[in-house]
Amino acid sequence: MKTQVLVIGGGFAGVAVAQKLAKQGIDTVLVDRKDYFEVTYAVLRDVADPKQNNGNARQYYQQLLTGRFIHSGVQQLSHNSAMLENGDSIHFEKVVIASGSSYPSLPLAKSSNAISIDARNQELHQYHQQLQTAKQVLIIGGGVVGVELAGEIAYAMPTTNVTLAHNGHALLDGFRSKAQAKALAQLQRLGVEVKFNARYQQQGEHYVDSNSGDVLRPDVAFAATGVRPNNQFLQQQFAHTLNPQGLVKVDKQLSVIGQDNFYALGDIADVGEAKLGYLALEQGNYLGKRISNQLKGKRSKGYSRHPFMALVPTGQETGVAQLPFITTTWRTLLNMKQKDLFISKTFNELSH
């Protein structure tokens, strides 16, 4: 099989760049191990209160993409071809690495095994059933995912005891202190017990804090404690493109440093801005335009990095927005995301 551009990975960045290229008439193939695109920042509500999104956060690639799609993973990459896990090989002129990241400790957020949309729906349904029968829930990790998950469960299941344990002294590392304090207050109003400077580890059926010796016996526990870049297929021939954190090194135009006709973006790339879905879409739109211009012999400016902005829900009615010049809990702004967690907005952007 041959294509002008191979896109490896079907997250926000990969789908955005593939759509941009295909709509410019450029022969594009996107490869992904699963058969569906997922609006990942809506998944936590799918688990806590599935009727809110009603499965709308997932869509088959075949229905979404303008270009070609292959349901497989990349086993090995070379300078101008990729060997797929299904045994096929694809020869390309250019390759876009958008393989993203995974949550080894929290497949709830990004599935490790559900490669079909039916399997993913069933996986999320099982998590919801576990929560419905749980009296005590422990969430380890006070970053964005941990805070959102605690808020979603506490709001949707008010009789469930939710404990959020964080190894730092404040939630939402990297946010302003005002945002951290507001998020904490909102969770506490929902009844979430927040434990700081805590390092809970599983010991049999119990969880023990190695700092204080405290013991918890949750019915359900989630560990939201970090992501891992999906770079396995690069390690054999292209380890030189990775930085010490395992991210692909790119220049100001998102070209892979030291490798012609290779590009990288999204969670897998060291782009120099936050790992957020809306920024991955921005990167994909930029790179699609840049590659299109390149094939037409036109020059492109470098990618403009964006200042850090985030809107973190804490349940279905509250949240914190950190913008470049202000931190706010303004309800009108929060409702822009709370309406459907940007599901319709995301699919609308990817379809046009």
Residue for token pair 């594009």: 28
In this prediction, residue 86 carries a pLDDT of: 95
For each of the domains in the chain, give its residue range(s) and CATH number, in order of start.
Answer: 2-33+72-103+227-306 (3.50.50.60), 117-226+308-343 (3.50.50.60)
Along the 352 residues of the chain, how does pLDDT read in single tens digits?
999 999 999 999 999 999 999 999 999 999 999 999 999 999 999 999 999 999 999 999 999 999 999 999 999 999 999 999 999 999 999 999 999 999 999 999 999 899 999 999 999 999 999 999 999 999 999 999 999 999 999 999 999 999 999 999 999 999 999 999 999 999 999 999 999 999 999 999 999 999 999 999 999 999 999 899 999 999 999 999 999 999 999 999 999 999 999 999 999 999 999 999 999 999 999 999 999 999 999 999 999 999 999 999 999 999 999 999 999 999 999 999 999 999 999 999 998 7
180 touches 170 (CB < 8 A): yes
Which candidate, 35, 37, 26, places its Cα nearest to that of 4? Answer: 26
Q: How many CB atoms lie within 10 A of CB 302?
A: 11
Tokens representing 30 are 């996107």
Alpha carbon distance 265, 326 (integer Å): 28
Angle of CA points 62, 67, 73, to nearest 5°: 65
In this prediction, residue 352 carries a pLDDT of: 79
CA atoms within 13 A on the CB side of 203: 11
Cα separations in angstroms, 327 against 178, 180, 275, 332: 7, 10, 19, 14
Alpha carbon distance 77, 40 (integer Å): 27
289 touches 20 (CB < 8 A): yes
Helix (H) or strand (E) holding 14, with range, is helix 12-22
Residue for token pair 């469930």: 160
Strands 206-209 and 215-216: antiparallel
Which candidate, 119, 118, 103, places its Cα nearest to that of 44? Answer: 103
Name the 3-class secondary structure at 323.
strand
Name the 3-class secondary structure at 161.
strand
Strands 262-264 and 310-313: unpaired
